[in-house]
Every structure is written in structure tokens, then in C-alpha cells.
């Protein structure tokens, strides 16, 4: 299993386009279209927010068929909280794409991300779909354009491709994602599309995706907010020609591994690109009494604004890490807790250590920071990615809507 260059069109039979149709005021690409040359098995994971965007609601409905030909996603407008007209607009988006592609409307999945509470400009969307369809291509460049078209406050594009062998066939799994603010477990303002040319049953694909999302996209926290438009969708079109993977196939775990690898890479890119972020932070917990306790601790530490501002300030303030673990709701004895920054132990058995401040500073000056918490309760562990909290986070989010 290896990581290779490329984008969402790397698997066979996938085409992409990204165009600017005027939804973003700055003229950047804002409509992405991804199409498969044949119906693909499809699976998805959606936000658990009780408020749900209209485009996402439609995608959730369509995905139940298990087959899809295309995904259309706009940025610049979330198509959320505008009532029935929003659902009508999502249906129109899907219908326009279905008409172009020549497939049932149920085989088109819709997504939107951006400002909440404003109607979509359907003239712009309609001409955008026409232009995107006309420019659909298999090239890396068109994949990159599709990625750019789903970005909002993202600074870096997020694409990863993984390739492995199965039955002597070459299988490719590719993913693209957007998301920087509002990222949090249970699918924050995060949209990801994964494509693969593997032949696989929809139910098996769903299992692999759900397992991967729980370990990856649901282990990213930028600011603790979760949005109404978040989803991860995977399309598997079988163009690689392998024998269809079912529950009992030997190769199923390989596909699951590849989907998890792509998801891990994309998740780390999302955390690194957190709004205003200057550092990628991984929070690890080992030795917890239960998985639930381990999760509570990584979640509390990764969310803590005090921990995140200390990392921004390159300040080895491990007291804030211990404090966050302490209020996480997890049950543990602080007297059995060690804390490490990178490989430097800064707290032993819940107490301050006289550590090398110069070395600590060097560790915190890196772009990748590891905070490791070792408990002595049991064997459960977990990890989560987050980023530091900077002036720029406040600047970016103080005036997003206007």
C-alpha cells in the first residue's frame, strides 16, 4: 500500500471539474462536479447536528439507493436554514446534473458549504453545472480544481491517493476534503469525497467508511463546533475489474485499510490547516481504564482553548493539559499520570518535574507537536488531532458572514 501523487480522478473511470460560477464574491472556484463513467457503489457518513443543510439532507436520502454516478458540491453558500425552497434548490441541482450525465436523479449526491441562511443563487448554480460538465476530465489538474472549488477558509488543498494490489489488479483510492474551522467530532464543516475503482458491495463499503471515519475524521477538533453540512462520501465504481468484494472476501480488509489511510492523511491536513493554525497537535492517551475514558481525555485536551493558546505561545504549560484531563469526565487517579511533550517527560505521577526548559522550547517550536498522556488505569488508548489557537482564528471568524 503506497501513497502516490494525484487527486480524486486517480482511480479509473472518474472525472472531475471545478469552476467559478459566482457564488464566492472573490471569483474563486465554487462548484465541483465529480462523475463516474458507470454507477458506483456508494456510502456516506453525515453530521449528527439536529439542524441539517438541505443539500446534505438530499444526499442522505439519495445514498440509500446504494448507487451513484455523480457528486455536485458548491461552496460559498451552505444552503441551510432557508426552509422548503432550500430542499427544492438541492433537488434542482441534482436534476440538472442528472440531466447532463444521463442518470436517474437519485444517483446524484449534493453538498453545500458556506454561509447559513441565504438562498442559493440558482442561476449561478445552473450555469456552473453546465460549465463543470463541459470541462469534466480525468486529469490531475481537473481533480485539483474540484478540490479548490469546495474550499472555503481552507488555505491548503487536501488530496491524497493510495494504491494497492488485489487479485493481481491495481486498486486506487483517492480522497479530497475541505474543512478548517468548525471541525469537530461527528463531522464538522468538513466535506470529503473519496473515490475508488474497487468493486465492492455498498454495505461493505459503508462498514469500511464508518470504521475509518470514527478513527480519523471524528478524531479531529479545531474549535469544537460542528456544522450542519458535513459529510464524507465514498464512491466505488469497480473499474479496476477485481472480483466484487463482499463481507467474507479476503481483500475487504485491504480496501478498509486504504480508506482509513486516505482518511487519516486528509484528517491530519484538516487539523494542520485549522483556521489560524500554526501547528498540528496530536493528543495521545495510553493506559486509560476504558475506551470511553481515553476518548473523553483526548477530546477535552484537544478542545481546550487554554491548551491551544499555550501551544501557540510555545509555552510548556502541562498544568493545562492535566487540568483538561481532570475535567474531561474520565475517571482516573492523577497521581498515576505522566505527561510528555514529544519525548520529554514534563509531569510525573501528577507532579511537576524539573525538566529542561530549553529542550521543551525546542520541541514546541516544531510544526508538529505531540502531547502524550500516560495513565496507569488500564490498557485503553486514543488519539486526536487538533491545532493551536492563534490571533488569526479570531480575525478569520470575527467577520466571516459580512
Q: Nearest approach, Cβ of 366 to a copy of itself (angstroms)?
A: 17
Q: Report the C-alpha gap between 39 and 282 in whole angstroms.
A: 38
Joined grid coordinates for residue 294 = 481515553
Chain residues 61-80 in contact with a copy of itself, contact rule CB under 8 A: 78, 80
Q: Does 99 bind a copy of itself (CB under 8 A)?
A: no
Active-site annotation holder among 9, 47, 152, 189: 189
**Radius of gyration of the chain, Cα coordinates, nearest whole angstrom:** 22
Q: Is 189 in the active site?
A: yes
Q: What angle do CA 64, 245, 264 make, to 5 degrees?
A: 75
Q: Which is nearer to a copy of itself, 57 or 107 (CB)?
A: 57
The reply to whether 2 sits near a copy of itself by the rule CB under 8 A is: no
Q: Does 224 bind a copy of itself (CB under 8 A)?
A: yes
Cβ–Cβ under 8 Å, residues 32 and 7: no
For a copy of itself, the binding residue among 2, 50, 168, 367 (CB under 8 A) is 50
Question: Are the C-beta atoms of residues 340 and 359 closer than 8 Å to each other?
Answer: no
C-alpha cell recorded at residue 172: 486506487
State the virtual CA torsion across 303, 305, 311, 317 in degrees, nearest 10: -100
226 lines the binding site for a copy of itself (CB under 8 A) = yes
Return the number of the residue (146 or 311) whose C-beta is nearest a copy of itself.
311
Q: Judging by DSSP bridges, how do beta strands 158-166 and 169-178 pair with one another? A: antiparallel
Q: What span, in angstroms and rounded, lies between the C-alpha atoms of 74 and 125? A: 8
**Choice from 323, 342, 345, 359 touching a copy of itself (CB under 8 A):** 323
| Alpha-carbon gap, residue 305 to 324, rounded angstroms | 10
* CB distance 91 to 105 below 8 Å: yes
One residue of 100, 296, 320, 372 binding a copy of itself per CB under 8 A: 320
Q: Which of 29, 128, 181, 287 binds a copy of itself (CB under 8 A)?
A: 181
Q: Which of 12, 49, 74, 75 binds a copy of itself (CB under 8 A)?
A: 49
Is 400 a binding residue for a copy of itself by CB under 8 A? The answer is: yes
Binding status of residue 153 toward a copy of itself by CB under 8 A:
no
Whole-number minimum distance, CB 207 to a copy of itself, in Å? 25
Q: What is the DSSP letter of 194?
A: E
Contact 393, 312 (CB under 8 A): no
Q: Annotated catalytic sites, by residue? A: 189
Residue ranges in contact with a copy of itself by CB under 8 A: 47-51, 78, 80-83, 115-118, 181-182, 184, 186, 223-228, 303-306, 309-310, 312-313, 315-320, 322-327, 330-334, 347, 349-352, 389-391, 393-395, 397-402
Amino acid at each position: 500500500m503506497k501513497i502516490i501523487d494525484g487527486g480524486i480522478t486517480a482511480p479509473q473511470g472518474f472525472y472531475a471539474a471545478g469552476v467559478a460560477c459566482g457564488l464566492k464574491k472573490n471569483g474563486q472556484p465554487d462548484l465541483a462536479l465529480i462523475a463516474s463513467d458507470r454507477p458506483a457503489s456508494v456510502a456516506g457518513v453525515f453530521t449528527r447536528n439536529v439542524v441539517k443543510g438541505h443539500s446534505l439532507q438530499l444526499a442522505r436520502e439519495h445514498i440509500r439507493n446504494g448507487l451513484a454516478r455523480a457528486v455536485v458540491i458548491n461552496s460559498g453558500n451552505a444552503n441551510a436554514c432557508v426552509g422548503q425552497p432550500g430542499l427544492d434548490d438541492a433537488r434542482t441541482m441534482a436534476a440538472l446534473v442528472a440531466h447532463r450525465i444521463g442518470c436517474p436523479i437519485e444517483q446524484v449526491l449534493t453538498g453545500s458549504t458556506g454561509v447559513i441562511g441565504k438562498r442559493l443563487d440558482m442561476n449561478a448554480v445552473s450555469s456552473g453545472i453546465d460549465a463543470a460538465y463541459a470541462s469534466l476530465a480525468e486529469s490531475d489538474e481537473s481533480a485539483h480544481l474540484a478540490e479548490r472549488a469546495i474550499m472555503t477558509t481552507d488555505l491548503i488543498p487536501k488530496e491524497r491517493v493510495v494504491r494497492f494490489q488485489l487479485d493481481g489488479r491495481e486498486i486506487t483510492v483517492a480522497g479530497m476534503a475541505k474543512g478548517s474551522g468548525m471541525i469537530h467530532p461527528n463531522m464538522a464543516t468538513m466535506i470529503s469525497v473519496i473515490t475508488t475503482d474497487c468493486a465492492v458491495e455498498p454495505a461493505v463499503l459503508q462498514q469500511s467508511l464508518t470504521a475509518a471515519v470514527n478513527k480519523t475524521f471524528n478524531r479531529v477538533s479545531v474549535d469544537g463546533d460542528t456544522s450542519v453540512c458535513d459529510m464524507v462520501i465514498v464512491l466505488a465504481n469497480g473499474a479496476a475489474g477485481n472480483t466484487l468484494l463482499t463481507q467474507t472476501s479476503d481483500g475487504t480488509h485491504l480496501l478498509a485499510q486504504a480508506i482509513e489511510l486516505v482518511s487519516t492523511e486528509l484528517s491530519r491536513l484538516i487539523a494542520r490547516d485549522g483556521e489560524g493554525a500554526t501547528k498540528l497537535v496530536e493528543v495521545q492517551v495510553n493506559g486509560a481504564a476504558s475506551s470511553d475514558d481515553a476518548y473523553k481525555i483526548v477530546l477535552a485536551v484537544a478542545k481546550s482553548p487554554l491548551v491551544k493558546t499555550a501551544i501557540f505561545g510555545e509555552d510548556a504549560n502541562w498544568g493545562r493539559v492535566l487540568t483538561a484531563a481532570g475535567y474531561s469526565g474520565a475517571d482516573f487517579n492523577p497521581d498515576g499520570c505522566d505527561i510528555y511533550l514529544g519525548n520529554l517527560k514534563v509531569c510525573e505521577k501528577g507532579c511537576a518535574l524539573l525538566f529542561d526548559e530549553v529542550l521543551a522550547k525546542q520541541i514546541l517550536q516544531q510544526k508538529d507537536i505531540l502531547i502524550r498522556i500516560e495513565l496507569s488505569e488500564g490498557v485503553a488508548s486514543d488519539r486526536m488531532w487538533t491545532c493551536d489557537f492563534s490571533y488569526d482564528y479570531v480575525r478569520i471568524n470575527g467577520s466571516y458572514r459580512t
